[in-house]
Amino acid sequence: MPPLHPPRAATPDVTALPEHSPDSPLSVHDVTVAYRHKPVLWDVDFDAPPGAMIAIVGPNGAGKSTLLKAALGLVPLASGGVAFWGKPFAKVRRRVAYVPQRESVDWEFPVSVLDVAAMGRYGRLGWFRRVGRADRDAAMACLERVGMDGYAGRQIAELSGGQQQRVFIARALAQEADLYLMDEPLAGVDAATERTIIGVLGGLRSAGKTIVAVHHDLQTVPEYFDHALLINTRVIAAGPVAGVFTKPNLHATYGGRLTLMDEAAQELARTMEGLR
């Protein structure tokens, strides 16, 4: 075969891809994040394929939520970089919707369900402009997509956990983004809500959107997602679910035994602590 491309790009090796591919809605390059002295993410390298549903999977404390937060600039990177469609996040904010964990807000806050969904419109409204009829209609349509239109006037404290989650997803839909980063969208929701949410996410994927979701239920990963990113501080494996969801990979992700590297790191940390 004649070499049509420069040799670097011709190798089908992930590490050889250009640093921030403009095709990938989200490329995470060598990201390390540390809280105090403990690294939470170590050299994470990952390109999200466009138009896919990608699950971030790993045990508690593996850095799944932190990866989303680091990508969105909510926690500082110790090193590495993140690009969205090859651009810095600040340039493409509107195209990226974030669904935080439900527990991250106070549900006693005095707002209605429709108010929360309409918050997805604030980015395009800009400073000082009030939420108008068009925005309310758009927010209402999004509530309808998640089956919450009947609750539009309710105070958010009256909702069940699954309903709260659906309202958060409606808020993200109202943003009309191209990439959706979701932190455990199916955590603690009932079976009917799970079906509704998966239906909505499937609709987004059919429309060419990309979804990256932290997911805790290993059993449903192959059914719901196309791709998976297995992490436990480091990336264990990434790619199409069928190829990635292997016993050795899952064992490496969830396995109880510390690797030699981790032991060495902990030893080092203890020594440093002793020297302070």
Partner 1 sequence: MSSLMDILLFRAGHNTAVVLVGCVVLGVSAAVVGAFAVLRKRALMADALGHATLPGIALGFMISAAFNGTGRETAALLLGATATGVVGVLAVQGILATRRLREDAAIGAVLSVFFGVGAVLLSRIQALPGADAGGLTHLILGQTASMRSGDAWLIAGAGAFAVAVVALLYKELRLVAFDQEFARVQGWPVAGLDLAVMTLVTVVTVVGLQAVGLILVVALLIIPPAAARFWTDRLGVMLVVAGVIGGASGAGGAAVSAVSRNLPIGALIVLFAGAIFLAGLLAAPRRGIVASVVRTARLRLLVASHHRLRELLGGPSDPLGAHERLADLALRRRGLAASTPAGLVLTEAGRRRALELEHAERWWIDRFGTTPGSGPPPSADAVEHILSPGLIDRLDGRSRGGDRP
Nearer of residues 5 and 130 to partner 1, judged by Cβ: 130
103 near partner 1 (CB under 8 A): no
Burial 36-50 (b: 16+ CB within 10 A, else e): eeebbbbebbbbbbb
Residue 265 and residue 259 in contact, taking contact as beta carbons nearer than 8 Å: no
> How many residues belong to the site for partner 1 (CB under 8 A)?
32
Find the binder of partner 1 among 130, 133, 247, 257 (CB under 8 A): 130
Confirm or reject binding of residue 72 to partner 1 (CB under 8 A): yes
DSSP 52: -
Please identify which residue in 109, 242, 266, 267 interacts with partner 1, judged by CB under 8 A.
Answer: 109
For partner 1, the closer CB: 212 or 235: 212
Tokens 């402009």 locate to: 129
Asked if 195 touches partner 1 (CB under 8 A), the answer is no
Q: Does 131 bind partner 1 (CB under 8 A)?
A: yes
Of 107, 110, 112, 43, nearest to 81 by C-alpha is 43
- 239: tokens are 């790619």
CB of 60 to partner 1, least distance (A): 20
Token pair of 135 as six digits: 């925005």
Does 76 sit near partner 1 (CB under 8 A)?
Answer: no
Please report whether residue 133 would count as binding partner 1 according to CB under 8 A. Answer: no
Tell me the window of 14-22, 37-45, 115-123, 219-227 that interacts with partner 1 (CB under 8 A): 115-123
Q: Which of 18, 22, 61, 73 binds partner 1 (CB under 8 A)?
A: 73
Binding status of residue 104 toward partner 1 by CB under 8 A: yes
Q: How far apart are CA 69 and CA 214, in angstroms?
A: 11
By the rule CB under 8 A, 147 interacts with partner 1: no
The stretch among 46-54, 69-77, 220-228, 242-250 that binds partner 1 (CB under 8 A) is 69-77
**Rounded to the nearest whole angstrom, what is the least distance from the CB of residue 113 to partner 1 in the complex?**
11
Q: Is 33 in the site for partner 1 (CB under 8 A)?
A: no
Distance (Å, whole) CA 183 – CA 165: 10
**Inter-residue contact 25 to 179 (CB < 8 Å):** yes
Is 273 a binding residue for partner 1 by CB under 8 A? The answer is no
Instruction: Give the single-character DSSP code of 158.
Output: G
| C-alpha span between 161 and 187 (Å, rounded) | 9
List, as one string, the DSSP characters of 159-226.
S-HHHHHHHHHHHHHHTT-SEEEEESTTTT--HHHHHHHHHHHHHHHHTT-EEEEE---GGGHHHH-S
Question: Which position among 46, 98, 180, 224 is part of the footprint of partner 1 (CB under 8 A)?
Answer: 98
What is the C-alpha separation between 32 and 77, in angstroms, rounded?
A: 6
What is the nearest approach in angstroms of partner 1 to the Cβ of residue 89?
A: 9
- The site for partner 1 (CB under 8 A) is made up of 36, 69, 72-74, 90, 93, 96, 98, 100, 104-106, 109-112, 115-116, 119, 122-123, 125, 127-131, 155, 157, 171, 192
